[in-house]
Chains A and B, each alone.
Chain A
Amino acid sequence: SQKIEQNSEALNIQEGKTATLTCNYTNYSPAYLQWYRQDPGRGPVFLLLIRENEKEKRKERLKVTFDTTLKQSLFHITASQPADSATYLCALAVSGGSYIPTFGRGTSLIVHP
């Protein structure tokens, strides 16, 4: 069966360090992968999209890598700040589909001042 796995344990880091979150998937042929941020009581907010033929994408302090051989994406936040504390969701859209994302459960990031 298809699975998207994100670490269910919260990631605690110190301000200024780089946070790295992992998304692993099985039995998918993704057309692209997305990362979202979700704050308590809010809906997910789109951050970055990376396509199957791309290895890396950057946006300001964010970096996403996509390894279709390992079936893994890494999401990095450099120079992390307490305001980066949130839950980060990974989502996949499959090839030939209608762009409906399938979400992982998310990983909570806590940045300590």
Chain B
Amino acid sequence: EAGVTQFPSHSVIEKGQTVTLRCDPISGHDNLYWYRRVMGKEIKFLLHFVKESKQDESGMPNNRFLAERTGGTYSTLKVQPAELEDSGVYFCASSQAGAQNIQYFGAGTRLSVL
């Protein structure tokens, strides 16, 4: 069974550009989460989808971040325009309905904004 996959593994962009990160959860997992780890800090929650609906987006930093999960399968996280402080590792995780407390994480996308 494939795990959570994220693409790209690494992205280097200039300030002001747009970047789109993709996450493919484990097949059949209704719950999908985005997290971010800024260097030297802890992993922080950004957003939670249940199927295609945003359940909780309290962790989204500002309106430069847009997450979508059309059709309730894969998800994208777009940053537009990117700022220097957006640099970090973006993790996606998924979990089954009824077992939200066990999340499976992807390897992350390392975003560097120059």
Contact = CB atoms under 8 A, between A and B. Distances in A.
Interface of A: 4, 32, 34, 41-46, 49, 89, 93, 98-106
B105 A105 contact: no
Contacts of A101: 45, 103
10 contacts: A4-B42, A42-B107, A43-B108, A44-B43, A46-B102, A46-B104, A98-B55, A98-B100, A100-B56, A104-B42
Interface of B: 4, 33, 41-45, 48, 55-56, 91, 93, 100-108
Which among B33, B42, B105 has the highest number of chain A CB atoms within 10 Å? B42
Contacts, number: 46
B101 A103 contact: no
Nearest to A102: B45
Nearest to B93: A43
Residue from the set B44, B93, B105 with the largest chain A CB neighbour count within 10 Å: B105
